[in-house]
Structures are given as C-alpha cells and as structure tokens.
Amino acid sequence: MPKQDFSHVRSWVFDLDNTLYPPQVRLFDQIEQRMTQFVMEALHVDRTEANRLRHHYWREYGTTLAGLMREHGIDPDPYLVKVHDISFDALTPDEELRTRIAALPGRRIVYTNGSGPYAERVIARRGLSGVFDAVYGFEHAGYRPKPERAAFDAVLARDGITPQDAAMFEDDPRNLAAPHAMGMRTVHVAPERQALDHIHHHTDDLSGFLARLV
C-alpha cells in the first residue's frame, strides 16, 4: 500500500457505523429495528410495509430519514432521537485504533449520517473520545444525507477542509463517489473489496491500514 498516496493529506474524515467499529458488532441492527417501528407509527403501516419503505428510501435517498422527510414531511429531530436510543453494550474500547488515529498528521473528524449525539456515544464506547477534532452528524449537513454531494460540501465547508488535502474512510461505497469527485483520497473499509473507479483503496482492517500511513 503506497504510503505516498497519503503524503499530502492533512484532513482525515471517518464515517462512524461499521467503520470505527467492526460490522460484526451488528450495532446497526438495533437502529434498523427502531427505524421500522418509527415508520410503522408515523405512516400507520404494518411491519412488512415499513420494512419495504425503509429499504426503498435508503436506496432512493441515501437514508430512510431523507425519504421520510421528502415524501412525508417528517420532522427529523424526533426521529434521530428515537432511532438512536439503543444499547451500546456490544461496543468495546480499541486502544490500537485510538493510537493509530491519534498519530495521523493534521485534522481528524467524524462525519456520519447518524446524529451527532449518537456519534459521540459510539466514540466514547470505543475509547476514542478526545481523538477527533470535531464530530458531525446528519443535522450538521443541513439534514442532507450522504451520498449527496451537497451534504459533503456543507460539512467540509463547516470544518474548513480543502477536499484535495483530505481522505475519506467509509464502509458504504456509495458514500465515496462524491468525495472522489471532490478530489479526496477514498478508502473503502469493509470485509469485501469492490472494484469501483471512485475507490482508491480498500481495507478490512482500519487499524492496520492506518499503521502503514505514519
């Protein structure tokens, strides 16, 4: 893995779910259950239809919430509180990951389609509090979701990041297309590699990958 590919990077942007913790934790399973329940109650549909809509909105708009907002005028804030009210017991501290992220030169931030308060709780449970310079959620992107270019524009502008000097680490390959187009170095963090033009690098071991950069 060519270290020189990251020699220009001074801003490191990390997704949260299934990126800063392994997907085997299956934390998002709890969130999906709460999403389905929210859709059932908000739209007065049964569980089967709620699950269908949840998947449809995720595919069409990037997140279930984005679809609920655009097609049903749902207020995002109560949704964000309810779906992220989960147990974090499955998460454990990762001292190696903390060391690797802390060693990165420049600015380090988290940007998630979840809420900021939820991200802070995940970060704390992973033993990563104090490592990041800022944490941004869906609300900080003007309630626009990844993979929309406007969402990335909003967060990077808010943080003062120059895309050409930045790298994005993300488990969902869709969410790397806009960063690539903006000039960011892109890293797909997932068990399986996907050969897509907008993905520069792939890893199934974030700590190991970061160890080879510094």
Query: Residue 115's domain is classified under what CATH number?
Result: 3.40.50.1000
Q: How many structural domains are present in the chain?
A: 2
Count of CB atoms within 10 A of residue 26's CB? 12
pLDDT at 155: 98
Span 109-120, pLDDT tens digits: 999 999 999 999
pLDDT at 207: 97
117 and 74 within one domain:
no
Q: Tokens 């964000």 identify what position?
A: 80
182 and 126 within one domain:
yes
Residue 8 near residue 165 (C-beta atoms within 8 A): yes
174 and 96 within one domain:
yes
- pLDDT higher than threshold 90 for residue 2: no
Span 50-87, pLDDT tens digits: 999 999 999 999 899 999 999 999 999 999 999 999 99
Angle between helices 64-72 and 47-61 (to 10 degrees): 100
66 and 116 within one domain:
no
- pLDDT higher than threshold 80 for residue 156: yes
71 and 9 within one domain:
no
140 band by pLDDT with thresholds 50, 70 and 90: very high
Average pLDDT of the chain, as a whole number: 96
**Domain containing 139: what range?**
3-22+92-211
116 and 76 within one domain:
no
Span 14-62, pLDDT tens digits: 999 999 999 999 998 999 999 999 999 999 999 999 999 999 999 999 8
pLDDT at 214: 84
Work out the average pLDDT over 116-129: 98
The pTM of the full predicted model, rounded to 2 decimals, is 0.94
49 contact partners, CB below 8 Å, separation of at least 6: none
Tell which residue, 184, 212, 178, has the closest CA to residue 200: 184
Cα-flanking dihedrals φ and ψ of residue 142, to 5°?
70, 30
pLDDT at 65: 95
Work out the average pLDDT over 182-207: 97
43 and 121 within one domain:
no
28 vs 168: which has the higher pLDDT: 168
pLDDT at 1: 60
Residue 67 near residue 57 (C-beta atoms within 8 A): yes
Query: Residue 41's domain is classified under what CATH number?
Result: 1.10.150.450
Q: Which helix (H) or strand (E) holds 64?
A: helix 64-72
133 and 106 within one domain:
yes
At residue 111, the 3 state secondary structure works out as strand
185 and 139 within one domain:
yes
